[in-house]
Chain A
Amino acid sequence: MSIPLPLFIAVPLVMAFLLPMFGRKGKVAATFLANLVTIFLLVSAVASIGKSEVYEIGKWSIPLGINLVLDGLSSLMLLAISVVSAAAMLFSARYMEQYTAKAKYLSLFLLMVAGMNGVVLSGDIFNLFVFLEIASLASYALVGFGCEHEELEASFKYMVLGSIGSIFVLFAVALVYGNTGTLNMAYISEAIQYSGMNAGLDFALALFIVGFGLKAALVPFHAWLPDAHPSAPAPISAMLSGILIKTLGIYALARVVFNIFGVSVSVGWLLIVLGLLSMVAGAFLAIGQWDLKRLMAYSSISQIGYVILGIGLGATLIARGDNLAWASLAILGGLFHLVNHAVYKSLLFLTSGSVEMSTGTRQLKQMGGLAEKLPITRTTCTVASASIVGIPPFSGFWSKLILVIAAVQAQFYWIAAIIVFVSLCTLIMYLKVQRYVFLGELPENLQQVKENKGSMLVAMVFLACLCVLMGLLVLVPGLKQAILEPAVKVLTDGLKYSVDVKGM
């Protein structure tokens, strides 16, 4: 079964504009339809694994028209997006009952999903910018969805920095068009190979790195994330931390650096330094937090550092002409960590939403002893924490292990040491979560707390099962060849992208 590529974008987009018509009375029907859409996307994403195709919109052949490209990296990202969005949508079916205007929320949610699917499928750099803006605008609105003091403030902050990032990307697109005369990514890549880099293209690459770095919240550009992610409703925090920063930031950056401009040693080192800074700074800042969701948001910054470190390490090794096997191992570690982080961080944010809904607070000091009251939330949260820390059978362990092995093989022993050190910091912060939320004394006012029921539990248990099973993605050779290796190959092949796309 093969699904036409535009459906990945069209179905959520159309549904996003239909749902607000249901209004207050059709809330149940709207929720059902929205869930149906995300599940449809999940099934389609699973069905599209291992395929690679190019779809020309309106039968205009490239470079005249716009094309959608599905390759290994795109289908990996599609899979991650659809898993997280299906779980978050299931969770919000019950969680969002606290808010008014649920239909509008569902509509914005689907708009964000459509934008992200568009970003990963687009083969046209301007089209990528348009979808990036769709997803970002929906996320600005969702961060401010509660319309309270903190939410509006966070939304404004996010919006200012996000808009500046988008404008940088648009400026870079304009520069690329001025220098190469085309907007199709395959043709841009070919033109750059033919003519070589010049000052304008160097400036464009710098603008791309800053723009996508702002979207990905890499450390010098991270100021908005610790405000924006905790302020959003819990399922949206899960979407933002789990997948939005990776799609708009890491994926777009990797695509531009590897497939369009081609890797160079300096860019590779820049990515490594950004990654290390994010890892260390995020981890240190997270340990000091007393707000549950804020702690998790800072830990997102730290984890995104691992992903960019793996990709940067791969870029450096490729550019130096070192052993390609090490480079692909580093990239494999980075991409696998990306998928893992999507799953366990969204699970952590969902459990934080469950705790917040039961207790009405996010402050660690006001909680305690919830282990008996919220047994399932506690179990799933422990699984996710074990996974993010890197306890052996869980998914986070494998991706960190691959990164360490890659760093050691490439003789960057100090990078391997930093990876292990940041893991220890992560252990401290999640021990803190366990200690203050689930263990210790139960405060007087929380005696009546009850476990949440229904769809929220289903979503959390679904993601927790994935956390346990994800290790199989690298351990079972068949799964690894089907899902991860094509994605790694897209990046290690680098500039062959243009030949591949034109050949399809």
Chain B
Amino acid sequence: MPYALCFLLFMLGLYCAVVKKNMVKIVIGIMVMEYAVNLFLIMLGYRFGGSAPIIDRSQLEAEQVAASFINNSVDPLPQALVLTAIVISLGSLALMISICVRTYEKYGTFDITQIRRLKG
């Protein structure tokens, strides 16, 4: 069920990016898609009632790490991936918004149906 909702969020973002006429709304749609994918990554690693994947020294010495640790802790790797993906999407968001602003300065509108100098 959560996966279906996450996919719904992704499709909403895609719909927004494809259908909307306003440049800023297109950017928002792309970002919603990005966040849906980030959410999906986080959910992959999440475990209901899981613990943080940290081993302390006493556990290591007792050598009882394996089974209980693997069964209880959440997967930390997707969190690292999401962190990277968020930084990348921040960079692309900044670039997209600055291009929107520059385009508005030139054309005086955000409406992509009126920004049509390139044809063919």
Contact = CB atoms under 8 A, between A and B. Distances in A.
Contacts of A155: 99
Nearest to B80: A126
A153 B118 contact: yes
Contacts of A284: none
Contact of B92 (A137, A177, A291): A137
Interface stretch (B34-42, B48-56, B58-66): B34-42
B1 to A, nearest CB: 16
B57 interface: no
B74 interface: no
A66 to B, nearest CB: 11
Contacts of B37: 167, 170-171, 174
Contact of A164 (B30, B84, B91, B99): B30
A174 B44 contact: yes
A452 interface: no
Given A130-B88, A163-B30, A174-B40, A153 B95 contact: no
Interface in A150-183: 150, 152-157, 159-160, 163-164, 166-167, 170-171, 173-174, 177-178, 183
Q: Determine which residue in A141, A153, A154 has the highest number of CB atoms from chain B within 10 A of its CB, and name it.
A: A153
A226 interface: yes
Nearest to A160: B26
A92 B31 CA distance: 34
A155 B100 CA distance: 10
A149 B95 contact: no
A164 B17 contact: yes
29 contacts: A126-B84, A130-B84, A137-B88, A137-B92, A140-B92, A140-B99, A141-B95, A144-B102, A149-B106, A149-B107, A152-B102, A153-B118, A155-B99, A156-B23, A156-B96, A163-B30, A164-B30, A167-B33, A171-B10, A171-B37, A173-B81, A174-B40, A174-B41, A174-B78, A177-B78, A227-B118, A231-B118, A291-B120, A294-B120
Nearest to A298: B120
Contacts, number: 90
A289 interface: yes
Contact of B30 (A144, A167, A173): A167
Interface in B98-120: 99-100, 102-103, 106-107, 115-118, 120
A201 B81 CA distance: 19
Contact of A289 (B33, B44, B99, B120): B120
A130 B37 CA distance: 15
Closest CB pairs A-B (n = 3): A152-B103, A178-B44, A227-B118
A133 interface: yes
Q: How large is the interface on B (under 10, 10 to 19, 20 to 34, 35 or more residues)?
A: 20 to 34
A147 interface: yes
Contacts of A164: 14, 17, 30, 33
Contacts of B106: 148-149, 152
A298 to B, nearest CB: 9
Nearest to B27: A160
B40 A153 contact: no
A160 B41 contact: no
Contacts of A231: 118
Interface of B: 10, 14, 17, 23, 26, 30, 33-34, 37, 40-41, 44, 77-78, 81, 84-85, 88, 91-92, 95-96, 99-100, 102-103, 106-107, 115-118, 120
Contacts of A166: 92
B95 A159 contact: yes
B99 A159 contact: yes
B101 to A, nearest CB: 10
Contact of A163 (B85, B92, B100, B120): B92
Contact of A153 (B17, B26, B81, B117): B117
Contacts of A183: 77, 81
Given A163-B30, A166-B92, 11 more contacts: A140-B92, A149-B106, A150-B117, A156-B96, A157-B118, A160-B17, A163-B96, A170-B34, A170-B37, A174-B40, A226-B120
A55 to B, nearest CB: 20
A444 B103 CA distance: 35
Contacts of A159: 92, 95-96, 99
B115 to A, nearest CB: 5
Given A156-B103, A167-B37, A177-B44, A150 B95 contact: no
Contact of B95 (A137, A157, A288): A137
Given A160-B17, A171-B40, A154 B118 contact: yes
A289 B85 CA distance: 39
Nearest to B115: A153
A328 to B, nearest CB: 36
Nearest to B91: A137
